[in-house]
Structure 1
């Protein structure tokens, strides 16, 4: 925790060496792609609620849940980034609320990927029972369990924060900018964060990999639908890639901590901005791009909304 605070202090001090022009430039380079990705994700969310086919199909409902969590996570991350770039310090309660909400959505994404992989496994290995197993009700129960488990993680983090002696502080005003690292107060919170992250992603990796192996085994049977099996296998591979990108966002803070030891302050801030876009922001938009382009049902509707109904306007003209 002491080095994490030192890293945050170095980052804050490095911003003091940046001129206004450079800070505005970096803020623009990160805010612009984030706004574009938020627009794409928002359009995708609207698309998934625009037709009854999407609202009453389990895999589209799960996709909506995944996109919703990623979009909220991206919006919160950009909000915290802008606050830090403007050198605005928050109080511990406000920062804690924002970071806990971010933690809630961070856990939802990998768990949803696991459920989506299991849905594809059932569709390929048990096609005749798929409609009976993967129902709207069961999908709703799965989503509820995901959010309940994520909420339990947040509750545990809050209880660990309550053990910190805040009364010894001169003020609840934070000296550093608000981030997830700054809210790991005490060694117990830090240890819990590391253990929970490892367990979560090892479990998610095992679940998705097991589904992928099951699909490969099913593909070798003579009765299997080769086209459907091949498509499901590619989808599960994409889920593994998505999980890996989600994992990359969890190593974002430890990576910055390691770089802070070897880089100068101003170089550290510049690299941090690049990593923020490619490691933290870009993976949050990948899901909408993957499914929006690959899915034959979503693609025409998504392109229609992304183009702001340009096609309809040209037709009337």
Structure 2
């Protein structure tokens, strides 16, 4: 009798998985709707896609949308134990990993843009020109792809051709064949985030120094810049914790699959969804100009008409 109480029934496990799936779907749909609305707002006004900070912001949002779609599909496949061949799983995980890295790298670029705008205002127009924006996006994607390339090479050097035709429940842990691959992936992630954390802290200190020496009318802009960099630092911390999660999950996978699924689910909510819901808050809702345009398009122009009638 005690054994039956300690082990959950198959029905209760399946019911719990359905509840979790419904919660995730609601959150993902909300985030995707908000992100798509912001992306639409960005392309509706020329002033936005001529500004570096908005271009970087939309680059992060588009990457977040793709990442949420891919990881949500993987979550569905894992909860319902839908299998696929390893070669397809490899492609999906690599694309997911690429967009997972794009977000923190873009955050660092956005922090540097705020540093240049506040600490080097005279050089801002030249450094953040339209042509350099394109180069910046290419650099962001290039730096984000380096860890993915290393992962691909690590898999290619440790498996044979039959490995790619195995049917598996697709997770990143299935691509970690040996211990050194796990250490390599962890080391690359920690190196990236150490560099990005240093850049963000450097930018924060410099902006804080400018804020203290700024005149009364410039203090407001400097204070807002400090708040933005602080939010970026918090968002980056969540992303850093996310890259430590696979180490814990991989240790749990051979021990207990149910515990592994529970931990994976909580990590996905806290360290995958949560950091990506901060992007709309930092640049979408806190930016007055973008928020006004967003409210106009979200209400199908009714907000502007209402203001005109009141005036």
- Normalising by structure 1, we get a TM-score of 0.85
Instruction: Specify the alignment match of 2:148 in structure 1.
Output: 154
- In structure 2, distance between residues paired with 1:191 and 1:81: 24
Matches within 5 A, 1:105-120: 105-120=99-114
Give CA-to-partner distance per residue, 1:240-293, whole Å, 9 cap, x none: 11111211222232343566699x764554454333222221222220133221
Instruction: Specify the alignment match of 2:293 in structure 1.
Output: 301
Matches within 5 A, 1:123-138: 123-138=117-132
C-alpha distance 233-19 of structure 1, shift in aligned 2 (>3 A): closer
Q: Which runs of 5+ in 1 are unaligned?
A: 1-13
1:204 aligns with 2:190: no
1:151 shift after superposition: 2.3
C-alpha distance 15-43 of structure 1, shift in aligned 2 (>3 A): farther
Instruction: Specify the alignment match of 1:3 in structure 2.
Output: none
State the secondary structure of the residue aligned to 1:164.
coil
Query: Given the alignment, which residue of 39, 63, 67 partners 2:61?
Result: 67
Instruction: Specify the alignment match of 1:179 in structure 2.
Output: 171
Instruction: Specify the alignment match of 2:278 in structure 1.
Output: 286
Instruction: Specify the alignment match of 1:55 in structure 2.
Output: 49
RMSD of Structure 2 on Structure 1 (CA): 2.7
Matches within 5 A, 1:1-317: 18-167=12-161, 169=163, 172-175=165-168, 177-222=169-214, 225-257=218-250, 266=258, 269-307=261-299, 311=303
Task: Tell which deviates more after alignment, 271-280 or 210-219.
Answer: 271-280
C-alpha distance 274-313 of structure 1, shift in aligned 2 (>3 A): farther
Q: Is the 8 A contact 2:43 2:49 kept in 1?
A: yes
State the secondary structure of the residue aligned to 2:122.
coil
1:164 shift after superposition: 2.1
> Which of structures 1 and 2 has the larger relative contact order (alpha carbons within 8 angstroms, sep 6+)?
1
Instruction: Specify the alignment match of 1:5 in structure 2.
Output: none
C-alpha distance 166-62 of structure 1, shift in aligned 2 (>3 A): same
Give CA-to-partner distance per residue, 1:89-127, whole Å, 9 cap, x none: 111110000000011112211111111111111111111
- In structure 2, distance between residues paired with 1:69 and 1:136: 20
- In structure 2, distance between residues paired with 1:268 and 1:165: 25
C-alpha distance 129-223 of structure 1, shift in aligned 2 (>3 A): farther
1:150 shift after superposition: 2.0
- In structure 2, distance between residues paired with 1:35 and 1:313: 29
C-alpha distance 190-17 of structure 1, shift in aligned 2 (>3 A): farther
- Normalising by structure 2, we get a TM-score of 0.86
- In structure 2, distance between residues paired with 1:15 and 1:103: 34
State the secondary structure of the residue aligned to 1:129.
helix
C-alpha distance 189-267 of structure 1, shift in aligned 2 (>3 A): closer
- In structure 2, distance between residues paired with 1:96 and 1:146: 22
